[in-house]
Structure formats: structure tokens, C-alpha cells
Amino acid sequence: MKARGIAGWVACAVLGGLLLAGCLSHNPSYFPYLLPPGEVAKTHAKPRGRGYYENFDPYAVRLEVRPLQATNPVGGQQVLIATVLDRNGQPRRGRRVEWMLEGSGHILEVDESGYDAGRGWKEGDRLAVSYTSYREHHVTRGTPQPDDDFVIRPGQTWCVITSPVEGESHVTVYAPAIYNWEQRKVTVTLTWVDAAWEFPPPTSGRPGVPVQLVTRVFRRGDNAPLSGYRVRYTILEGPPAVFLPAQQSSLELPTDGQGLAIAQVMLAAAQPGTTRIGIEILRNAASGAATIVLARGETWIQWASAGLSLTKTGPANAAPGQNLTYVLTLTNTGPVETEAVTVRDLVPENLSFVQSQPAANVEGRELVWTLGPIAPGRSAAIQATFRAEKIGRAVNRCSATTADGLRTEAEAITEIAAPGLSVAVQGPNRVSLGMPVTLQITVTNTGSGPATNGMLRADFDPGLSHPQAPGTTALTTGPFTIAPGASRTETLVLNAVKEGTHRVRITATADGNLRSIADHNVQVDKPQVQLEIKVPAARYVSAPVEVEITVRNSGNAPASNLYVVGQLPVELGFVAAGEGGQFRDREVTWFLSQLPPGESRTFRITCSAQQLSPKAVCRAVLRSDAGVLQTTEAALEIHGAPGLRLEMVDIGDPLIVDSTVRYEINITNTGTLADSDVSLVAIIPPELEFIAGSGPGNTVPKLAGNSLTFPSVLRLEPGQVLVYQVQCRGKMPGDARFRIELRSASLGKEPLIREEATTVVAAPTNQPEKPQ
């Protein structure tokens, strides 16, 4: 039993291997006969035994090959693609195809894709075998041109044929799996010629005019012309046309010594449209052999008339004596060339001819030009210059005609009128130094025609300056055009920078030598402005300080564009500015756009005194665009003052009779000046009894009655602190009021008094114990 089992497993393994080999061979799965694995095996096309006579592959029923015939240059390569189809027209994969060549050429390459024994192979250069593909393949020839690539789809296979000599190749393509003898074989005919050709390109033509078609045939190798080849032209469709001279719809003629076959085509009846023409290249007919069509192509002729348009452009307006240039433009709007064109231009009565490009033939008041043919889509231009002689409308008409009857007209209208210029200036006659001078300039066209290329120029004295161009004494604007009766207004703003009388001259110009001048004088006066600053005579440190600046116009002219500046010394700190003043870098600035005559303005700054100074100087400056007009100053004295602070605290409050309490007293000079003759007296209340005391430098106070007097301190500097201590004992219960009095030179007769309340309680008495 064990031996049988092992033998069964071996048989299964062998059968599995054979089946796997059959699958890898890409042979049809329906085909029951397996090919051996390994290298390519040149097998028989049909199975052995009974299967040889059966329809062993009923799925394969028809063979297709493309192309069936073709003409190629000698040395070229022709790809043949074979497809094995089933009864539903679906390609079948893995089917064998045989390729057999007779005649010129040889098999260059065959489809060898696949695996192992199922791959194709060549048998010499006239027999090859291949198998239809399982997958799609994109086959590239390795050239930069992508259009020579080809695609092999599932169920297709391929073969490449070439020939180094002229002749014919006959390729028999055979699919042995197809049972029907009528469907299993296809014959392909390939013609090899050492020739190339160029078909005539599409063109256009006019009815009634012959159109020439040229086909060129030449040897591919050296480009030498080939004579004796036949070229057949045939009218396919479109407007009826005939070949000359026979006036037939088809023409066959040989190539001449230049390799050219030239035909003349003309419309049989004037009818626009496109005529399609077929072209065939025929091989030299050998004795007893049929004519071979080497190539087929097409061209066409678009029949249409030339289109002619004419435009004329020129100035719409002009003045007498002015030269006018008109441009006449001829355009061929059709698809074919025009014939020669004659252009005529009638000169109006109020114009005279000056010159033209190209030169014109003058026939009385008519100008004549003769131009050559104009190609489709192209234009030709004429420039003519005239002189305006009289006022009025000039209607300049022209026409263009061709020999075949095309005609078009155009005109240009120019109004000839005499414009006039008048300029006026308005502005202030008197301003203050630094004030702007605003001038309104009005230029008017007083004539009947437009004033073109108008310009305005302003010339002014150096005492006036333009804010955007300082140092410049001349400004211009333009060009512009002013219609008849219309005006144009410009605004000119100058600054008055020097006293005196200054002139502004405005000059207006336009075409036709038009000119108008207007002058304006302005008197620049120095403004009568007074500046005053007030500050308090003296202030203590940390006290507020008010700075008051007043500007007063005592003259007869308004003062404008004034800048009022308050400058603070380092001894003062800025707090606030009234009237919208702007503070920066110890300066407060106000802008005063205008101060009328007889009026004044006051500006205030709030500061604080920060440093001792015998003379803190505050300044006020009045400026204009022309510079500083006035400066003034005022000074104040900043004093210092002593300031005494008296502090007292009791330590040990509350206390029991016979216990002690200590009073600590501090005197601080918080002012900015030293104080003198500083003395302290303490009043001991009845509830307390003095024990000891000490003052600055461990001085000892003197007790007289209930008054305790400490030695005087001759000088107490700013920030210096005096420390005192007084120690007392509780004498009797009660609310003790410990009082101190401080005197100094700065305090005068009235002392500085402080009191500290201290509670004194009786000592507790011993209570007898209660019986248990």
C-alpha cells in the first residue's frame, strides 16, 4: 500500500509539471497536446495521431493580415500584423502563425515574444513562426519619431519584411489552427521601389485663371529626378473643373527630365468652392506587366475672387497753413492674389497737394497711383501730404480698382478752422512772506477750430518758489487740445520766499503759431507779527509751571502757515499741551494756518519744576515756510524748600502698671533744602513715668517736670533722618497720651505736634482658691 501511494504521488507531480509547462508555453488551453519545456522547440503545427485530422482548435476560425498590399522604398521595412479571430470576431491568444516569403526581399524579424517552447523563431530568411500575443505591447523602433511605433494587441502577432532591391515580395501568412482552408491563409503583396514623391500642396485660384499643379518624383537615395513615371490627376468633387488643354476631368502624364508632372486646372464655370483632386503615382509599366499604383494622395483648390478694401485716415481738425498727412491702406481680404490696382484721389478745393509716398501722377486735381498685385491677407499703403488753404470742411475722397473689375472707395473728412488763444491769470496782489501764492490760470479757445498741442508755461521771479521744484523759475504743462469756445483752467501754487514785488508770466501756445501772454504781479511783505512768552518768576521744586505763548498780528495783511514752537529747558518736565500742540524732543509745536490782522492766539504748556535752578530759560520760536521769523525767551527761578516729616510709634502698648513702653520717633527732611535749629520736646502723661531717653548722636534729654527736652540739631540736610527714643514705666491705669512737639527754622512759631495713645492697665490681684 505504501509503494502504491508513493507511485501515485509521483504520477501526480509529473502530470502537474507537464500541465505547468503547457501553461507556460502559451499554447491554447483547449489544445490537449503539450510542448516540451526549455529552449524554443521547432514543433509540428498540428497534433499527432487522430487529433491531426480533427478540428483541434474550434475557437480559431479566421485569419486577418494588415496591410494586404503596400509600396515601400528600397531598404525600408514593412510591418505585417496578423490577427487570429473566433466566430464572434474576438482575437484569440497563443495561436501559431507561419510566414512564408517569395520574390524580392527577406524576413528581417518575427514576433519572438512568449516563453520557452511557445516563442516564435525564424527558419532562414524566408520562413518564420510566431504566436499571437497574450498582452498588449507597444513596439517602438528606437527612433525620435513616435509616429513609426505600432501596437500589438492580444490575439495579434507580427513580422517585418525588407528588400534591398526593387521588386515585389509575396508573403503567405498561414494559421494552422484554423480548420477552414479558405480562412486560414492570406497573401500579402509588397512593392519595393527606389523612388520618392512630393504631391502638390493645397492652393487657391480665381475663376477663369488656370491653376498649376506640380507633382515631383525623385530617387530616394540621391534625390535625383526620375522621368517616365506616370502621374494620374482626377477631379473628385467640388465645383466642376477640367484639366487643360483637353478639358477633361482626369489627366495622366509622365514625369519629365526634372521628375515633374505639371497639370493645369481651371474652373469649367465660375462657381466658388473647393475642388478635391486625387493623385496617383504609377510605376513604369514593364512589358506584359500590369501598371502598379505606388502611392495615392490628394490636394485641393479653393476657388474665390480676391477681396479689396480701402481705408483712408487723416486728422479730424486742422488750421489754415497746417500740413495734413493722410494714409490710404489697401488690403486684399480674399484668399487669392489681386491683379494690379489703380488708386485715384480727388484733392478738395481747400487743400493743396504737397507730396506722397510713393509718388503720384498728378492729373489736374486728381492724384493717380498704380500698384502691383496684392497677395492674400497683405496690405499696401500710400501716404499723401496736403496743405490746408481755406477754412471749411475738406472731404477727401479716393477709389481703388483692379483690371478684373474690383472697386472700392473711401473718404476722410477734415474740419479746417482757425482757433484762437486767450490766457488770463487771477490771484492775490499782496501776501505775507512765507504765504502761498495761489494763481488760477484760464486759457480759452476764442476761434472756430480746435486748438491742438496746447502748452502752458509759467515764468516767475526768484522771490517765488514752487514747493515741488525749489530753485526752478519756469514750469510747463501740456500738450492738450481745447475745443472752439472751450476753456481750460490750471492752478499754480507758489511760495513767497523773499520780500518785494515779483512777476509771474503765463504764456499759452498751440499749433498754428498761436500765442497769448498774461502777467501777474504780487507784493510780498514781511508780516508784522509779535511773539511773547510768559512764565512765573519763581516756583518750588515739584510745583506746577504754566508757560504761555502769545502770537499777535499787528500788521495789515494776514499771516499764514505759521509754526509756533515752545522749547522747554531741562529743569522743566512736560505734562500737557493745550490747543492741540505736539510734543517731541523737548519742543511743543502748533501750526497756525492763518492769523488775520489785529488778532492774536495764545498757546499754553503745563510743566512741573524738576530741578533747582536760578534761571531756567523757556524759549518761543515763530517760523514760516520761509524760515524763522522771530524768537523770544523768558526765565524763572526754581527754589528748593525743606519738608519735615514727624513719625512716632509705641512698642509695648498696652502695658501693665510697673511694666515699660518704648517710644521711637523719626524726624525726616523730605524737602529739597536743609532745615536748621531742629528741636524736639516730649510731654510725659501722668499715667507714665520717664525712665530713659536718647537723641541723635546718643544725646541725653533733660526732664523738667513732665517736659522732656532734647538738644537742638543745628542743620538737617535733605533726606537726613533724626532718630529719638523715650522709655517709660506704667505708673497708674488709664489712657496715656504721649505728646511730642517739633520746632525748626522752617516751621516758624508753630510747632509740629504728634500724640500717641497708650493704654495702661492695673496689675492683676491674687484671688484665694475656692475649697474643693
pLDDT tens sequence across 397-422? 999 998 877 899 999 999 888 888 99
145 by DSSP, 3-state: which?
coil
Reported as a single tens digit per residue, the pLDDT across 625-640 is: 667 778 999 999 988 8
Cα torsion through 263, 269, 275, 278, rounded to 10 = -40
CATH code, domain carrying 394 = 2.60.40.1530
Instruction: Give the residue from 182, 210, 228 where a domain finishes.
Output: 182
Residue 126 has pLDDT above 80, yes or no: yes
Q: How many CA atoms lie within 13 A of 471 on its CB side?
A: 0
Q: Tell me the mean pLDDT in the region 412-436.
A: 87
Residue 319 CA, chain-centre distance (Å), reads 46
- Outline where 258-330 has alpha helix (H): none
Residue 188 lies in a domain: no
Same domain, 399 and 433: no
Same domain, 206 and 284: yes
Please, are residues 477 and 423 in contact by the beta-carbon 8 Å criterion?
no
**Core vs surface per residue 292-320: b (16+ CB within 10 A) or e:** bebbeeebbbbbbbbbbebebebbebbbb
At 151 the pLDDT is 93
- Pairing between strand 600-609 and 544-553? antiparallel
Reported as a single tens digit per residue, the pLDDT across 317-338 is: 888 888 999 999 999 988 888 8
Same domain, 599 and 534: yes
Same domain, 608 and 685: no
As a whole number of angstroms, the distance between CA 265 and CA 247 comes to 9
Per-residue pLDDT band for 285 (boundaries 50, 70, 90) equals: very low
Same domain, 565 and 462: no
240 by DSSP, 3-state: which?
coil
Residue 510 CA, chain-centre distance (Å), reads 41
Residue 117 has pLDDT above 80, yes or no: no
* C-alpha torsion sign, points 358, 361, 362, 368: negative
- Pairing between strand 514-525 and 430-432? parallel
Please, are residues 96 and 57 in contact by the beta-carbon 8 Å criterion?
no
As a whole number of angstroms, the distance between CA 471 and CA 13 comes to 112
Residue 46 lies in a domain: yes
How wide is the angle at C-alpha 367 spanned by C-alphas 365 and 370, nearest 5°? 155
Residue 768 lies in a domain: no
At 443 the pLDDT is 94
**By C-alpha distance, which of 729, 730, 725 is closest to 740?**
725
Instruction: Give the residue from 303, 329, 360 where a domain finishes.
Output: 303
Instruction: Read off the amino acid at residue 730.
Output: G
Reported as a single tens digit per residue, the pLDDT across 173-219 is: 999 989 899 999 999 999 888 888 999 999 988 888 899 999 999 98
**% of the chain with per-residue pLDDT over 70:** 91
448 vs 729, more confident? 729
Residue 162 has pLDDT above 80, yes or no: yes
Please, are residues 606 and 544 in contact by the beta-carbon 8 Å criterion?
yes
Domain count for the chain: 6
- In sequence order, what are the beta bridge partners of 669? 644
Instruction: Give the residue from 639, 654, 672 where a domain finishes.
Output: 639
As a whole number of angstroms, the distance between CA 56 and CA 367 comes to 95
As a whole number of angstroms, the distance between CA 763 and CA 772 comes to 27
Which of 87-101, 109-123, 305-319, 662-676 is the least confident region?
109-123
At 25 the pLDDT is 35
Q: Tell me the mean pLDDT in the region 525-533.
A: 85
Same domain, 398 and 456: no
CATH code, domain carrying 689 = 2.60.40.10
At 72 the pLDDT is 87
Residue 365 lies in a domain: yes
Domain carrying residue 250: 196-303
Residue 766 lies in a domain: no
Backbone angles phi, psi at 21, to 5 degrees: -65, -40
- How is residue 762 annotated by DSSP? P
284 vs 281, more confident? 281
Q: How many CA atoms lie within 13 A of 263 on its CB side?
A: 30
Contacts of range 716-720, beta carbons closer than 8 Å, 24 or more positions apart: 716/642, 716/644, 716/667, 716/669, 716/674, 716/675, 716/676, 716/678, 716/744, 717/669, 717/674, 718/640, 718/642, 718/669, 718/670, 718/671, 718/672, 718/673, 718/674, 719/668, 719/669, 719/670, 720/668, 720/669
Same domain, 169 and 237: no
444 by DSSP, 3-state: which?
strand
Same domain, 653 and 627: no
Judged on CB neighbours under 10 Å (0-12, 13-18, 19+), 333 is: middle
CATH code, domain carrying 238 = 2.60.40.2410
Residue 324 lies in a domain: yes
**By C-alpha distance, which of 182, 213, 186, 212 is closest to 199?**
213
As a whole number of angstroms, the distance between CA 34 and CA 37 comes to 9
Q: Tell me the mean pLDDT in the region 135-144.
A: 87
Give the CA distances from residue 422 to residues 39, 128, 427, in Å, rounded to whole numbers and listed in that order.
110, 104, 17
Residue 546 CA, chain-centre distance (Å), reads 58
- In sequence order, what are the beta bridge partners of 297? 279
Q: DSSP string covering 633-671, please?
A: EEEEEEE----EEEEEEEES-SEETT-EEEEEEEEEE-S
Please, are residues 80 and 188 in contact by the beta-carbon 8 Å criterion?
yes
Judged on CB neighbours under 10 Å (0-12, 13-18, 19+), 686 is: exposed
Residue 34 has pLDDT above 80, yes or no: no
Per-residue pLDDT band for 40 (boundaries 50, 70, 90) equals: low
Q: What is the pTM of this model?
A: 0.40
Same domain, 467 and 568: no
As a whole number of angstroms, the distance between CA 449 and CA 439 comes to 28
Per-residue pLDDT band for 498 (boundaries 50, 70, 90) equals: confident
Same domain, 122 and 216: no
Q: Which three cell numbers stand for residue 459?
A: 515764468
Could you list the beta-strand ranges (E) of 4-95.
Answer: 62-66, 69-73, 77-85
116 φψ region: left (φ > 0), alpha (ψ -120 to 50), beta (else):
left
408 by DSSP, 3-state: which?
strand
Other beta carbons within 10 angstroms of residue 557's beta carbon come to 20
State the chain's mean pLDDT as an integer: 87
Per-residue pLDDT band for 767 (boundaries 50, 70, 90) equals: low
Residue 3 lies in a domain: no
Same domain, 571 and 508: no
Same domain, 399 and 425: no
Backbone angles phi, psi at 335, to 5 degrees: -85, -5
As a whole number of angstroms, the distance between CA 387 and CA 319 comes to 10
Residue 23 lies in a domain: no
As a whole number of angstroms, the distance between CA 195 and CA 216 comes to 10
